[in-house]
Amino acid sequence: MAKSDHYIGEGLRLRMKLTKTDLASVPHEYRIAYRPVDEDDDDCEGYDLILCVSAANYVTEAKAEIARLTASLETLKVEGPKMVAAEKQASRDHAVRMTLFHSLAKAGVKQGLIEGAMATLESQNDFEVGESDGRKKERVVHARTERGLLTVDALVQQFVETEGAAYLERRAAPAGGHFNQLSRGLKLRH
């Protein structure tokens, strides 16, 4: 490598001093790294331009960054749709699970058995997730069953009535005093 050259990388060498006619031999993106020779630069006599090494290094770094970003963009073009689809599926699954959880809890299913009831309902039915028509876009979940499209609350109610009685919380029997009080109240009215 000549002393008057600056090594950039990938076999590219930039000359430290150039005439205006030599500038055409410099790659286009590196031309910005050359500045006009000042009149007081004695060792640049006969040359029109001098290389600013820090600018050349900046161009090299910028090119590397552009190459990295281009590669990332290409990866994103391939992987992006997969990531979006996976995120949509996760969001859909979360909406189904949260809706089932709240409906089962509201129907009185025992806290420790809600997960099992959810798994049973998820395996027996397909769910569709949409958005509400109101101003506030909320997730609306429906279950597709043999009977057609049902709200999750209706599905849970049907489940509890048919096979889910074992999942329900047992309600405490009224205390004897309460029953006697009701009985006395009825007798007094008649």
**3-state SS assignment for residue 4:** coil
Please give the DSSP secondary-structure letter assigned to residue 23. Answer: G
Share of the chain above pLDDT 90, in %: 23
Whose CA is closest to 33, among 47, 15, 46, 45?
A: 15
**3-state SS assignment for residue 11:** coil
Please give the full DSSP string across 105-166, using - where no structure is assigned. HHTTB-GGGHHHHHHHHHHH-EEEEEE-SSSS--EEEEEEETTEEEEHHHHHHHHHHHT-GG
pLDDT at res. 171 = 60
The residue whose two tokens read 């009985």 is 183
Q: How confident is the model over 150-181, as pLDDT tens digits?
A: 889 999 898 888 877 777 776 655 555 666 77
What the block records as the tokens of 86 is: 């996976």
Quick check: 49 pLDDT over 90?
A: no
pLDDT at res. 163 = 79
Alpha-carbon gap, residue 114 to 167, rounded angstroms: 8
Do 69 and 61 touch, CB atoms closer than 8 A? no
Q: How confident is the model over 81-134, as pLDDT tens digits?
A: 999 999 999 999 999 999 999 999 998 888 888 898 899 889 988 998 888 777
Q: How confident is the model over 56-71, as pLDDT tens digits?
A: 888 889 999 999 999 9
**3-state SS assignment for residue 172:** coil
N residues, the chain: 190
What the block records as the tokens of 189 is: 């009215």
pLDDT at res. 1 = 44
Domain locations along the chain:
5-79, 80-168
